[in-house]
Amino acid sequence: MIRFKTLLPVSLAALSLMATTMSAQAEEVVNVLHNQQDEKIRAAWEEIRQDFEAQHPDIRVNLEFQDDSAMKQRLPTLLQSNAKPHLYWSFGGANYRTRATSGLLADITDKADGLRANISPGALSAFEIDGRLYGAPYRLAQVGFWYNKRLFEQAGVSADDIETWDDFLDVVQQIKDAGITPIAAGGGERWPLHFYWTYLAMRIGGQDLFNDILADKASFDNAAYIRAGVELQRLADLDPFQPGYLGAKYNEAANVFGNHQAAIHLMGEWDIGVQRSESESGEGVNDNDLGYFSFPAVTGGQGDPSATLGGVDGWAFTAGNGTDAAVEWLTFFLSPENQARLAEQDIIIPVARGAETHVQNPHMKVIAENIAHSSWHQVFWDQALGADVGGVINDISAELTSGDETPEGAVERIQEAWDFR
């Protein structure tokens, strides 16, 4: 009896330690690396993380944040080390593709039924390489035409009448005839103009052609992309841009649009806030006067008019770390319910099916629905194709509008850059 009393506390302590040890051993950790610095967004993610762990007591998620420059510097080395996270923040595009085909990412295709069930195919395609999945998108952006309803009314035109590129050119001419600058453009930075050439190439050439080029089964030097240059020069021939547009930066173009000095601005949804903040009044084109329409179809083109151009950023699984627990976390994080929570706070344009109905801002809501119904959501080509090729596309887009390059010369230069990538 005395012996039992002596041993009992020891045994209970040992059992407790054993249970703790077993629990710790049973707990699986998922490490996630991100560059998000917005405290509001971090707080929203933390709530989702806590909900996940409450439902998955055997999985612990670590959300590690680094500033963007530090993450970019660290990532190449990190991906080849044993300290790499399970998941890291990534765009779809050239770097993602290179890392996937180089074996630096984990193929989670066979574990992705939940992701495929929740996420629209157009968005998910940005993270597919040759039909295999190495990550998943988190949020979307679309480039389209923002327009000033008051200036359109003053010019006697309607965005509802624009179904084709020819319709668009007619509207531009009518606006110009009314004494209004039709389009604001930040040609000095060149990338804003690449939206025109890229969209035209997508509308004329279609997705199959672009995929064949990526697979080296076709060339940028093709009739469809030459026509894209021809069509862009048809627009430039109307002299539609504000004076000095080839030297203007994006923010200066947003200022012109926000000051009601131009009727149209081809840009992403971030322009809602930028045109406002850059305007002299600080109010810009208010929500009542601000309109939006998608890039129109091109007559005779092979591209689906529902296809969208924009940004897709999300998460990539590092090699060896596409574990069941990591996939489970991402599936939960990207579920329609959690995407809806973030959309309601105007944090994202979601990728999950049905979550777009929870977007509150009316303009972001339109874009969300566009992307949700898009057959092909393409990452900006100056990102998707890497810096070298993308830089050439930016250059030729500006030079086509200025008349310093021919449509034929433009595609030759892009293909040359592609050959030397």
pLDDT at residue 6, rounded to an integer: 39
Contact 182, 169 (CB under 8 A): no
Buried b (16+ CB within 10 A) or exposed e, 186-222: bbbbbbbbbbbbbbbbbbbbbbebbeebbeeebbbbb
* pTM, to two decimals: 0.74
Q: Which of these ranges, 129-143, 307-321, 362-376, has the smallest mean pLDDT?
A: 362-376
Cα separations in angstroms, 135 against 58, 108, 167, 342, 344? 23, 8, 39, 20, 24
Q: How many CA atoms lie within 13 A of 81 on its CB side?
A: 8
Instruction: Please say if the pLDDT value at position 382 is more than 90.
Output: no
pLDDT at residue 26, rounded to an integer: 54
Cα separations in angstroms, 377 against 95, 104, 121, 333? 18, 25, 9, 21
Average pLDDT over every residue of 262-270: 93
Instruction: Please say if the pLDDT value at position 406 is more than 70.
Output: yes
CA–CA separation, 173 vs 196, rounded Å?
17
Residues 6+ apart with CB under 8 A from 269: 141, 142, 349, 363, 364, 367
Q: Which pairs count as long-range contacts for 54-61, CB under 8 Å and 24+ apart, including other chains? A: 55/332, 56/325, 56/328, 56/329, 56/332, 58/26, 58/27, 58/28, 59/27, 59/28, 59/29, 59/30, 59/325, 59/328, 59/329, 60/27, 60/28, 60/29, 60/30, 61/29, 61/30, 61/32, 61/329
For the chain, the first-to-last Cα distance in angstroms comes to 81
Cα separations in angstroms, 21 against 4, 7, 27, 59, 157? 25, 21, 10, 15, 72
Q: How many CB atoms lie within 10 A of CB 246?
A: 17
Q: Which of these ranges, 74-78, 110-114, 152-156, 173-177, has the smallest mean pLDDT?
A: 74-78
CA–CA separation, 408 vs 109, rounded Å?
40
Query: Using 50, 70 and 90 to split pLDDT, how confident is the model at 291?
Result: very high
Query: Using 50, 70 and 90 to split pLDDT, how confident is the model at 18?
Result: very low
Contact 400, 233 (CB under 8 A): yes
Q: Which percentage of the chain shows pLDDT scores above 70?
A: 94
Cα separations in angstroms, 36 against 41, 43, 176, 345, 397? 8, 11, 43, 16, 32
Radius of gyration, CA atoms only, the chain: 25
Q: How many CA atoms lie within 13 A of 145 on its CB side?
A: 24
Residues 6+ apart with CB under 8 A from 125: 376, 377
pLDDT at residue 4, rounded to an integer: 37
Average pLDDT over every residue of 348-358: 87
The secondary structure of residue 111, as a DSSP letter, is G
CA–CA separation, 86 vs 106, rounded Å?
9
pLDDT at residue 177, rounded to an integer: 98
Residues 6+ apart with CB under 8 A from 177: 155
Average pLDDT over every residue of 18-35: 70
23, burial (CB in 10 Å: exposed 0-12, middle 13-18, buried 19+):
exposed
Contact 97, 280 (CB under 8 A): no
Query: Using 50, 70 and 90 to split pLDDT, how confident is the model at 192?
Result: very high
Q: Which of these ranges, 123-132, 239-248, 400-409, has the smallest mean pLDDT?
A: 123-132
Which of 184, 112, 126 lies closest to 151 in space, CA to CA? 184
**Residues 155, 159, 160: CA angle, nearest 5 degrees:** 125
Contact 257, 146 (CB under 8 A): yes
What is the residue type of 308? T
Query: DSSP assignment of 317-371, as one string?
Result: EBTT---HHHHHHHHHHTSHHHHHHHHHTTS--B-BTTGGGG--SHHHHHHHHHH
Helix (H) or strand (E) holding 98: helix 94-101
